[in-house]
Structure 1
Amino acid sequence: MSERVNVSFFQELMNSIAEQSRALLPKALFGAGGGESIEVLSRALMSGRGEASGVAIARQLLIQLKKAAAEERLQFYRFLADELQPDAALLADAARDYLDHPSDKTLAVLQNAAYSPRMEFFRRLNLAPGATGEIVALRADLVRHLKSDDTLAAVDRDLQRLLTSWFNRGFLVLRRIDWQTPAAILEKIIEYEAVHEIRGWDDLRRRLDPKDRRCFAFFHPSLVDEPLIFVEVALMREIPDTISAVLDAHRDDDDVPPTTAVFYSISNCQEGLKGISFGNFLLKQVVEDLVRDSQSLKTFVTLSPAPSFARWLDRVLAVEGDGGLSSDDRNVLAKLHDPRWVDDVLRDNGDAEEIRPILLSLAAQYFLVAKSADERPVDPVARFHLGNGARLERLNWLADTSERGLREAHGLMVNYRYELSEIERNHEAYAQDGTVAASRSVKSLLKSGSKVKALADAPDFLALPSARKPKRDRPPEAE
């Protein structure tokens, strides 16, 4: 509470400064009807004005950007890309001078010449009260334009670099989310959940049950009521192999303590922080907190989706004559196109059950063999957990029979295991040469000598889902 009061007091103080300083701004900043030009305000912000007037300009610029139409904001991003660049001539001279006379002095001159004016622009923009959240939202809007206008990539790189420093781990605060958490934050947890949709307040209450559920989120001091990322945990007595065992089941016997912590949903909350990783820090700190509160916990695993497996398999099947698949295998897998195939399996239809060994073998190849252009696993969730030092523990057949689970992965889900004594070794092996740590049971699913071609490029989505409730008619950005 004191943290929220302090931030509120500071913002009110900055608002007061901005209001008083606005009256001192030159009339040239104001257009007809009192409206300010975004470009004129941007140039004024970069001028050598005092701190107080800079706060007023930054505040007014953010107001104008918020009111601006999409095309106006796009023109603003192009202005940043075209005009706020290092001076090419000065940079070339400084580079030649450093190469001819390398020293701390010439290096400092080179570094100053190479420093992007856009970095300084956003630093000054952040002087306005409440600016950090507005800048994060601005980047979310910018990212949406990148595919259609690649000239904006340099702006995004500068902004991402700046946000990475503003949101580094030292500034983040881990808070447990429970039923006593302010309603405004709980509403955002419902909204931002991107893996297993929270269906209203009753569903959320079940997921926050203090008996066998935990939820933790990272916050930033400048965004007190905005979670950056959160993880949902189920405390169980065994490693689950279906999502229903996690979402629907609750422990009844309080006398038997839980032994297994299951991370079943990790959601990024801010699209504007795309590409800035918080998940590895979050999981490590949550494990520490869980162990401190419940010493009976010995096993730490996830129950994770495989969001691009079905698409990868479609590409594999589209290649005629692939040596890894026989014609019989292809005929069996063709049954996946029948939406009733799961019903047949659940009714113990022997023909449909033939899919299981073939699908699991292909899934093992998907995780252990298929690589993207950077020689890392194709699956975005696997890249995240393996990069954090987890082990690929188990592939679970028909673990998620929801419409989305079947569409994205034919029902497949994965357990990644965080073995505390192996995390550092697994992380180093993965970082150095892409080694995938996997259990013997997963490796045994690979057919001897059989490898389908690694057809898939790296999926263009993150390892963690991002902001806002995802549209249910298209794949989310993964776990």
Structure 2
Amino acid sequence: MNHLSLPGPHLSGSTQDLLNFAEGFSTSASHSLLSSGYDEVPATVNADSVAKLITSVLKISNKTAVSGITVENQVRKFCQAFEQLDSEESRLKIMEFLAQQDVKRKKISELATAYSNTEDPLVRSRVEDQLRQSLQPSYYWLFQKIGALPGGVKFLVDFRAQLISFCLSNLEIERTSALKSMSSQLKQLLSHWFSVGFLDLDQITWDSPCSMLQKISDYEAVHPMRNWTDLKARVGPYRRCFVYTHKSMPGEPIVVLHVALTEEIPESISKVVKHHRMVKKYSVDSHQSSGSKTGREGEDPSSCEAAIFYSITSTQTGLQGIELGTQLIKQAVQKLKEELPDLNQFCTLSPIPGFRKWLLILLQTAKRDGKTLAQTDLLTIDEAEKWQGLIKMAGNLQESDLGLGTLIQLVKTNSWMEDQNLIAFLEQPLMRLCARYLYLEKRRSNALDSVANFHLRNGAVLWRLNWEGDRSVRGLTNSCGIMVNYKYVLDDLEPNSTNYQENHKVKASEQVIHLASQAKVLQRKLSL
């Protein structure tokens, strides 16, 4: 990831601020704690030598009496050797070899037969225990031992991240099947270690360690930060930043949540991110030059009527599938209510990452089927006719597809945003289609959009769609610039969550339901 560059002329403040910056730039990249083992790794480290190490380590697990020091040293030696493998091909080979160290099926069969052939409760209890142990793959024992090492949990998180990457690559199904099974087993183990009870909730401020601030910037995936001034504002007045950390990964943010405190629920990200250095006549830059500390000083609590969750980032790919964001939001709400008792609105300003991709698939499918826009369920007949008139005036009409190909091209290139007439015309059909995408489109009975599914599972309301909510290249590429507010009504979270997860019912506002109903009418007309 790119590190922020020091914006010399923009800096002002105390000498301590400068010392913090210096500390941050002198901080080297974190290295594995596994590198300080007692035993030396083999002089020549390659896939074959590491595979031999695995075989040697797993033999120890079968011994009834073995020194804990021996186990620790051998497991550490494997970790050191694996980290020294310098090619993805070698690491994949080791992961596949390890995945083959699965359950002992013959032993399981023998134990199952013994269990079914005995009536003695004591014997059955003993056989049950043996069965449970036998149903765990051999590599599960190795993962447990790695997790007990200093730096071992981080090693396993990174190990699973690589596993996931290989599973998503173009390997044959037979090869990915065993890797996916091992990833699932490792996920189960990590989910115990990363349960909320083992996590610490921290609030990040400008006084936090510079290395942590740097990571907050590096990991920000939703609205990237441009410089240190940008970062300073996002942890300053009228802003809150909460993170989960884990004692086994010190100084490493696991999940990051950014919150804006506002008077009303914003409909545009520019009101939260790009203009955030001027809030209620409060300037971060002027506050810095006055010599006072950034933070809560200078805030007017009466102006903090809504808490806007505008970015949540899970920083560790290896923890994919382990739900931590939900708990972070719940604990952040609790902290905010303690700090600002009169705060009464909790809402997101969220991207819609899959909308434009979904829309282009619909358009391209219609074009491939030889349809005109009027023959699709995307535009009404009147809208299709008006669209042709607009692009005829612009000289863009392709007679072969009566405007469908032109629409595809404009959406692909985002060039429709350069024409005010097109912006005004496309607002109604795109908002209608976006409501359909979020409210009606499903995958396994849940919302098709991953962000929507996350918030709806939490019990939030699909509250408002915002036209031109994000006019950045990222916003246009994700969702044609549309953003959405998910509102967290605290008293309704449990019934909303239950109704969504058990009955697959989405709680939505009148605006969203109205737009989605219009889209549904078009779908029905097409099917007649």
**What's 2:261 paired with?**
235
The answer on whether the counterparts of 2:240 and 2:260 sit within 8 Å (CA) in structure 1 is yes
* Cα distance, 1:323 vs structure 2: 4.2
The answer on whether the counterparts of 2:427 and 2:467 sit within 8 Å (CA) in structure 1 is yes
Question: Alpha-carbon deviations, 1:176-214, whole Å to 9, x = none?
Answer: 0110111111111111000000111110001111x2000
* Cα distance, 1:157 vs structure 2: 1.1
Inter-partner Cα distance in structure 1 for 2:107 and 2:331 = 46
**What's 1:221 paired with?**
247
Q: Classify the secondary structure of the residue corresponding to 1:450.
A: helix
After superposition, where does 1:51-90 map in structure 2 within 5 Å?
Answer: 51-68=68-85, 69-82=87-100, 84-90=101-107
Inter-partner Cα distance in structure 2 for 1:189 and 1:246 = 18
**What's 1:37 paired with?**
49
The answer on whether the counterparts of 1:97 and 1:106 sit within 8 Å (CA) in structure 2 is yes
After superposition, where does 1:364-403 map in structure 2 within 5 Å?
Answer: 364-372=435-443, 374-403=444-473
Residue 179 in structure 1 maps to residue 206 in structure 2:
yes
Aligned pair partner of 1:304 in 350, 357, 369: 350
Inter-partner Cα distance in structure 2 for 1:315 and 1:181 = 45
Question: Alpha-carbon deviations, 1:230-254, whole Å to 9, x = none?
Answer: 1000000100000001111343264
The answer on whether the counterparts of 1:30 and 1:36 sit within 8 Å (CA) in structure 2 is no
**What's 1:204 paired with?**
231
Question: Alpha-carbon deviations, 1:134-185, whole Å to 9, x = none?
Answer: 1211111121111324131111111111111111111000000110111111
**What's 1:446 paired with?**
516
* Cα distance, 1:221 vs structure 2: 0.5
Residue 125 in structure 1 maps to residue 125 in structure 2:
no
Q: Once the two structures are aligned, what percentage of the paired residues are identical? A: 32
Show structure 2 runs of 5+ residues with no match. 1-31, 282-298, 388-403
Residue 341 in structure 1 maps to residue 416 in structure 2:
yes
State the TM-score, normalizing by the size of structure 1: 0.83
Residue 153 in structure 1 maps to residue 224 in structure 2:
no
Q: Classify the secondary structure of the residue corresponding to 2:181.
A: helix
Q: Classify the secondary structure of the residue corresponding to 1:180.
A: coil
Question: Cα 1:121–1:450, aligned 2, differ >3 Å: closer, same or farther?
Answer: same
Inter-partner Cα distance in structure 2 for 1:370 and 1:35 = 46
The amino acid across from 2:69 in the alignment is A
* Cα distance, 1:119 vs structure 2: 1.0
* Cα distance, 1:338 vs structure 2: 6.0
**What's 1:94 paired with?**
111
* Cα distance, 1:263 vs structure 2: 0.2
Q: Classify the secondary structure of the residue corresponding to 2:252.
A: coil
Q: Classify the secondary structure of the residue corresponding to 1:234.
A: strand
The amino acid across from 1:177 in the alignment is I
The answer on whether the counterparts of 1:240 and 1:303 sit within 8 Å (CA) in structure 2 is yes
**What's 1:410 paired with?**
480
Please identify the structure whose Cα radius of gyration is greater: 2
The answer on whether the counterparts of 2:103 and 2:135 sit within 8 Å (CA) in structure 1 is yes
**What's 1:262 paired with?**
308
Q: Classify the secondary structure of the residue corresponding to 1:93.
A: helix
Q: Higher mean Cα deviation, 390-399 or 125-134? A: 125-134
**What's 1:421 paired with?**
491
Question: Alpha-carbon deviations, 1:425-446, whole Å to 9, x = none?
Answer: 0110111021111112211112
Inter-partner Cα distance in structure 1 for 2:97 and 2:33 = 31
The answer on whether the counterparts of 1:316 and 1:452 sit within 8 Å (CA) in structure 2 is no
Q: Higher mean Cα deviation, 154-163 or 423-432? A: 154-163
Inter-partner Cα distance in structure 2 for 1:34 and 1:336 = 49
Inter-partner Cα distance in structure 1 for 2:523 and 2:117 = 54
The answer on whether the counterparts of 2:35 and 2:80 sit within 8 Å (CA) in structure 1 is no
* Cα distance, 1:100 vs structure 2: 5.1
Question: Cα 1:237–1:121, aligned 2, differ >3 Å: closer, same or farther?
Answer: same
The answer on whether the counterparts of 2:46 and 2:90 sit within 8 Å (CA) in structure 1 is no
* Cα distance, 1:316 vs structure 2: 1.9
Q: Classify the secondary structure of the residue corresponding to 2:142.
A: helix
Question: Alpha-carbon deviations, 1:399-421, whole Å to 9, x = none?
Answer: 00001111110001000000000
The amino acid across from 2:68 in the alignment is E
The answer on whether the counterparts of 2:34 and 2:80 sit within 8 Å (CA) in structure 1 is no
The answer on whether the counterparts of 2:378 and 2:429 sit within 8 Å (CA) in structure 1 is no
Question: Cα 1:261–1:85, aligned 2, differ >3 Å: closer, same or farther?
Answer: same
Residue 138 in structure 1 maps to residue 213 in structure 2:
no
What is the RMSD of the two structures over their aligned residues, measured on CA atoms?
A: 2.6
Q: Higher mean Cα deviation, 296-305 or 266-275? A: 266-275
**What's 2:391 paired with?**
none
Q: Classify the secondary structure of the residue corresponding to 1:445.
A: helix
Inter-partner Cα distance in structure 1 for 2:45 and 2:192 = 39
The amino acid across from 2:111 in the alignment is A
Residue 278 in structure 1 maps to residue 324 in structure 2:
yes
Question: Cα 1:402–1:44, aligned 2, differ >3 Å: closer, same or farther?
Answer: same
Question: Cα 1:50–1:13, aligned 2, differ >3 Å: closer, same or farther?
Answer: farther
* Cα distance, 1:257 vs structure 2: 3.0
Q: Classify the secondary structure of the residue corresponding to 2:490.
A: coil
Inter-partner Cα distance in structure 2 for 1:265 and 1:33 = 42
The answer on whether the counterparts of 1:367 and 1:378 sit within 8 Å (CA) in structure 2 is yes
**What's 1:360 paired with?**
431
Question: Alpha-carbon deviations, 1:295-350, whole Å to 9, x = none?
Answer: 121000000000000011112222344446445545748254563322323xxx3x
**What's 2:398 paired with?**
none
Inter-partner Cα distance in structure 1 for 2:514 and 2:77 = 62
Question: Cα 1:96–1:208, aligned 2, differ >3 Å: closer, same or farther?
Answer: same
The answer on whether the counterparts of 1:45 and 1:125 sit within 8 Å (CA) in structure 2 is no
Question: Cα 1:243–1:33, aligned 2, differ >3 Å: closer, same or farther?
Answer: closer
**What's 2:400 paired with?**
none
Residue 295 in structure 1 maps to residue 321 in structure 2:
no
